[in-house]
Amino acid sequence: MAKVLIVDDAKFMRVTLSNILKKANYEIVGEAENGEEAIELYRELKPDIVTLDITMPVMNGIEAAKIIKQIDPKAKIIMCSALGQQKMVVEALEAGAIDFIIKPFEESRVMEAIARVLM
């Protein structure tokens, strides 16, 4: 199964997403609390998929997505945010995200996004 890097400043959200993905037999290779950690871990772990929260301290998910896409243009990124605002979705997609999921996470929507990214 695919290796996933989960990035969110809220531990509760990382645990929630991790539990959903583990149940579907995905391997969680790492977790990060901000965009800078995400970039370091991406380089180190080479995950198949990155879930990136948008609003985080130090570096937000949109900035991190842009840098990860520079490192690896084929990076598969799913953005996550409690803010289901159209502007955020557009920015996330422009930064290189393939899909976007809204918090609180719905298991079916998470699995749908993962499947779409792996196509």
In a domain, residue 113? The reply is: no
CATH number of the CATH domain containing 33? 3.40.50.2300
Mean pLDDT within 33-41: 97
Tell me the pLDDT tens digit for each residue of 52-102: 999 899 999 999 999 999 999 999 999 998 866 678 878 888 999 999 998
In a domain, residue 41? The reply is: yes
CA distance 36 to 39: 5
pLDDT at 84: 61
pLDDT at 92: 87
Q: Give strand pairing partners of 98.
A: none
In a domain, residue 118? The reply is: no
Q: Range of 98's domain?
A: 3-108
Please work out, in degrees rounded to the nearest 5, the angle formed at the alpha carbon of residue 24 by the alpha carbons of 15 and 91: 60
pLDDT at 119: 84
pLDDT at 83: 64
Task: Assign 29 a pLDDT band (cuts: 50, 70, 90).
Answer: very high
The number of distinct structural domains making up the chain is 1
